[in-house]
């Protein structure tokens, strides 16, 4: 596992092991000797402007186009957006009710790109999950995750991530050959959120607004977005290129 995965899963395992020990199910701690790993920050998580533009040109279905656009415009977490229900939408105000991290009910705001696609995606439905699978829900699926009008299930995070990763493999590997696509890794959904918040920070969005957009409780978590993105740095370097200035 990579460092981020180990560092995320280790405390979760520790809590589970502590509970099992209190129940008398185990005596020892199998995580003894497993330590957090150094995780140098990745400064390339924000997608470049050309990558974002190329993403909107991909030949994908209406569900994916709407989902990706909504993720980027709202800078929300993917699992929050997937929990949107049709009855919780306010299209005229370009917002909808989501269940945020921690269980709080909050507003998710979007822009015109999402607004243009939503009516076709909803297709006159009045309730149920906004983003649906292509097939009917399996027997025993939770009622809240089944559309009462189509009997289709709510799209899962795992499947949404798979679709995004598969469709962005060539975008993530621009010098690769299409014949090698099965051996490539695409982008993750989290990078849309990261890209949107980085653009906000570059445009001078205030700290309180960034906190509201990201729904982070602490300013400390904004540090990962407050750095200029690749395009911003590239423009800065190009504008100060002596050779370019002489040609101008």
Give the end of a domain, one of 123, 143, 167: 167
159 contacts: CB under 8 Å, gap ≥ 6: 133
Total Cβ atoms within 10 A of residue 176 = 13
Distance CA 29, CA 126 (A): 51
pLDDT tens digits for 61-78?
Answer: 999 999 999 999 999 999
pLDDT tens digits for 138-158?
Answer: 999 999 999 999 999 999 999
Predicted confidence (pLDDT) at residue 97 exceeds the cutoff of 70:
yes
Q: Which domain holds residue 151?
A: 59-167
Domain count, the chain: 2
Angle at 30 between CA 26 and CA 32, to 5 degrees: 125
Say what the pTM is: 0.77
How far CA 242 is from CA of 165, 231, 232, 245, 246, in Å, comes to: 40, 19, 18, 5, 6
Give the end of a domain, one of 150, 167, 184: 167
pLDDT tens digits for 179-212?
Answer: 888 999 999 999 999 999 998 888 888 888 988 8
Classify residue 181: in a domain, yes or no. no
Residue 154 belongs to domain with CATH number: 1.10.443.10
Predicted confidence (pLDDT) at residue 101 exceeds the cutoff of 90:
no
């Amino acid at each position: 596992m990579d460092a981020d995965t180990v560092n995320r899963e280790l405390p979760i395992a520790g809590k589970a092991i502590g509970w099992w020990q209190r129940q008398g199910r185990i005596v020892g701690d199998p995580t003894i000797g497993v330590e957090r790993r150094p995780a140098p920050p990745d400064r390339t998580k924000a997608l470049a402007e050309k990558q974002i533009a190329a993403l909107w040109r991909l030949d994908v279905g209406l569900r994916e186009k709407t989902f990706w656009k909504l993720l980027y415009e709202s800078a929300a977490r993917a699992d929050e957006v997937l929990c949107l229900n049709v009855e919780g939408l306010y299209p005229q105000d370009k917002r909808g009710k989501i269940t945020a991290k921690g269980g709080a009910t909050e507003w998710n705001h979007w822009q015109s790109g999402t607004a243009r696609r939503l009516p076709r995606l909803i297709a006159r439905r009045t309730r149920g999950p906004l983003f649906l699978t292509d097939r009917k829900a399996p027997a025993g699926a939770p009622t809240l995750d089944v559309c009462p009008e189509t009997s289709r299930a709510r799209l899962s995070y795992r499947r949404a991530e798979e679709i995004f990763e598969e469709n962005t493999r060539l975008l993530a590997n621009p010098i690769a050959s299409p014949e090698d696509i099965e051996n490539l890794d695409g982008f993750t959904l989290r990078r849309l959120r990261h890209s949107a918040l980085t653009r906000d920070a570059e445009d001078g969005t205030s700290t309180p607004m960034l906190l509201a957009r990201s729904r982070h409780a602490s300013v400390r978590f904004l540090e990962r977005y407050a750095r200029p993105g690749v395009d911003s740095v590239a423009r800065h370097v190009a504008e100060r290129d002596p050779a370019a200035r002489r040609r101008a």
